[in-house]
């Protein structure tokens, strides 16, 4: 389930980036399904793999309010560690190479100028049959076109 902005003209880069990731056929092939993205509050009964994301907006200055340096943490959950590593590598390939996604994000309100991986973390399952977790933190520089 991908959550979209509602009732606001305020551009929010994470929604467009989630749509970009969800539309990637290679990512869907790795996961065996179209990946679902959930905001920080949870994932319900979603079977693995799935993604929980955390969005940290940042405006660098009052004079440049249309510039955004947002941070996004993607926590990818999976019961298959090999598939998790492949999924993480695909995220990095799509979002971790500077200006690769420029012009490919579907929104007309946000233009992503660059994105890159800032940190990562891997967590083993807390229980024997639990989920592995990979956290990938990205810094996204975008501008609002409205």
pLDDT digits (tens, 9 = 90+) for 11-59: 677 888 888 899 899 999 999 999 999 998 778 888 999 999 999 988 8
Q: What is the pLDDT of residues 68-99, one digit of tens each?
A: 889 999 999 999 999 999 999 999 998 876 55
CA distance 28 to 23: 8
Domain architecture of the chain: domains with CATH: 13-144 (3.30.2000.30)
Question: By the 8 A CB rule, do 96 and 86 touch?
Answer: no
Query: What is the reported pLDDT for 6?
Result: 43
Residue 8 has a CB neighbour count (10 Å cut-off) of: 7
* pTM, to two decimals: 0.84
Whose tokens are 């929104």? That residue is 107
Helix (H, G, I), strand (E, B) or coil at 86: helix
Whether 90 and 30 have beta carbons less than 8 Å apart is answered as yes
- Based on the number of CB atoms within 10 Å of its own CB, is 106 exposed (0-12), middle (13-18) or buried (19 or more)? exposed
Got the DSSP string for 1-40? Answer: ------S-----HHHHHHHHHHT-HHHHHHHTS---EEET
């Amino acid at each position: 389930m991908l959550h979209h902005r509602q009732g606001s003209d305020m551009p929010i880069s994470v929604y467009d980036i989630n749509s970009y990731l969800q539309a990637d056929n290679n990512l869907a092939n790795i996961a065996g399904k179209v990946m679902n993205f959930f905001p920080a509050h949870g994932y319900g009964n979603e079977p693995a793999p799935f993604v929980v994301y955390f969005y940290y907006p940042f405006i660098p200055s009052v004079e440049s309010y249309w510039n955004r340096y947002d941070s996004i943490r993607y926590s990818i959950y999976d019961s298959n560690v090999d598939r998790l590593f492949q999924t993480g590598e695909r995220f990095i390939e799509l979002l971790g190479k500077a200006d690769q996604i420029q012009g490919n994000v579907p929104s007309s309100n946000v233009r992503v100028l660059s994105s890159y991986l800032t940190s990562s973390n891997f967590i083993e399952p807390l229980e024997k049959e639990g989920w592995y977790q990979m956290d990938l933190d990205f810094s996204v520089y975008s501008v609002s076109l409205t």
